[in-house]
Amino acid sequence: MKSYAVVYEWAGSNYSAYVPDLLGCVACADTLQEIENLIKEAIEIYLEVLQEDGKPIPEPSTEIGIVAVMI
């Protein structure tokens, strides 16, 4: 099992998500719950296609953090 960092963004009228370690692995949805499910499915399909094509599976390398600042 591998765990990939996912970036979730509110785009004004919907959510989008992408996986920095998997170029082009993206999803869009109306709710945060829906986008979480769709990006998981997108990752699984992305990795399956790489395997079918005989390409290496990228190792997760992106680290995430949250920084709080006083403004």
CA angle 65, 66, 70 (to 5 degrees): 150
* pTM assigned to the model: 0.90
7's CB contacts (< 8 A; 6+ apart) are: 17, 18, 19, 20, 64
Full set of structural domains in the chain with CATH: 1-71 (3.30.160.250)
pLDDT tens digits along 34-71:
999 999 999 999 999 999 999 999 999 999 999 999 99
Contact by Cβ (8 Å): 28, 1: no
**pLDDT tens column, 13-34:** 999 999 999 999 999 999 999 9
17, containing H or E segment: strand 15-18
The DSSP annotation for 19-33 comes to: -TTSTT-EEEESSHH
pLDDT of 1: 87
